[in-house]
Structure 1
Amino acid sequence: MSTISVSILVFFALICTLIAALVGLKVKGKYIPNGVILVLGFMAMSVGAVFGFLNYGEDYDAYKRLHWQTLTPSQIQPLVDQGYTVFVDITADWCNICLANKASVTHREKIVNALTQSNIILMQGDWSQPNVVVESYMQTQGRGGTPYNKIYGPGAPNGIVLPSQLTVKAVMLALEKAKG
């Protein structure tokens, strides 16, 4: 557990102890405004929520295990013929939806675990700057912008186009279907 998590847990325990002490004093007849106890209770819930968020149990650095190859469209079909699943990601630094997809889906531990299987090849086309290979690939796909994600595999040799706004469920289902 990180130092921040321990600090939050200690702060949470102190707030709860303070609430218990104030309620005890109130029961003994001391004047303690209900509002003070309510505010401290809300504070305890907020601190507890932050602790829960930080200790969700997910490895937020899992995405570092992803090893992207440069998009090489001519290699996709031979890899699929050999039994591989190929995940293609066309992205750009300036693409807000691409950044959101990374944060909420492709960098999530569950997806990283699925994408790091030995039979999966990751290919990424970076369209942050003009790129002839990416442009040519996108023209063959009938698309003109980012984000664009497609999964090829023995079960889907022509590929499965994923929605622009990725979801964990959509990626997992497409990976399963493409696997065959």
Structure 2
Amino acid sequence: MSTITLISIIILCLLIGAILLLIWQRQKGKIIPLAVIFVLGFFALGLGAIIGFVHKGEDYQAYQKLQWHTLAPEQIAPLVAQGYTVFVDITSDWCTICQTNKAEVTHREQIVNALMADNIILMQGNWSEANKTIESYMRHEGVPGTPYNKIYGPSAPNGILLPSKLSMSDVLNGLAAAQTNRS
């Protein structure tokens, strides 16, 4: 838990405590304006909503767990023959669609969890600078630039090409289609 979250929770507890104290004092006959109680209540409600929104459940740092291997096209077919699924991502730092795909799809916790399966190998080529391996692979694939994502697997040894603008369902469906049906 971060320091800011801890401080926010402490402040929320203090607000609730102050509200309860004021209500108790009011019941004992002290003159406490209801407006004060309501204002503190709205502050507590707002702070509680902010804490809830910030911690709504998704781990936005999950992508850091992914173990990307450098693109090695010659290793794809042998890995697929061994039963692995290979997710290839060709990206570049200057490609806005690539960055959008990361933010909206490949860095999302649900996709990260799917990509972390034991039978999935992640290969990435960052084409921000000239790279003969990436150039050769892209020429072989007949694609001029980034973004480029393809999933190879036992059910799809030639690969399943994903659209340039990814969606979470594109990746999940591609992974399912490329993998061997297990009974």
TM-score range with shorter-chain normalisation? 0.7 to 0.9
> How far does the alpha carbon of each residue in 1:10-64 deviate from its partner, in whole angstroms, 9 at most, with x for none?
344556677889999xxx998777xxx68973x6555334312321233333222
- 1:56 is aligned to 56
- 1:156 is aligned to 156
- 2:129 is aligned to 129
Distance change in 2, residues 1:31/1:64 (3 Å) = closer
Alignment of 1:76-91 (within 5 A): 76-91=76-91
Alignment of 1:93-104 (within 5 A): 93-104=93-104
Q: Structure 2 length as normaliser, TM-score?
A: 0.77
Letter in 1 for 2:118: S
Distance change in 2, residues 1:32/1:173 (3 Å) = same
Letter in 1 for 2:145: G
- 2:167 is aligned to 167
d(CA) in 2 for partners of 1:82 and 1:88? 17
Q: Could you tell me which runs of 5 or more consecutive residues in structure 2 were left unpaired when the two chains were aligned.
A: none
Q: Larger Rg: 1 or 2?
A: 2
Deviates more, 1:3-12 or 1:144-153: 3-12
d(CA) in 1 for partners of 2:15 and 2:142? 58
Distance change in 2, residues 1:118/1:31 (3 Å) = closer
d(CA) in 1 for partners of 2:85 and 2:70? 16
> How far does the alpha carbon of each residue in 1:97-154 deviate from its partner, in whole angstroms, 9 at most, with x for none?
2222222222222222221222111111110001121122112222212111111101
Correspondence 1:117 to 2:117: yes
Letter in 2 for 1:151: I
- 2:147 is aligned to 147
Distance change in 2, residues 1:56/1:32 (3 Å) = closer
Alignment of 1:17-36 (within 5 A): none
| TM-superposed deviation, 1:90 | 0.3
Letter in 1 for 2:115: L
> How many residues of Structure 1 are paired with residues of Structure 2 in the alignment?
178
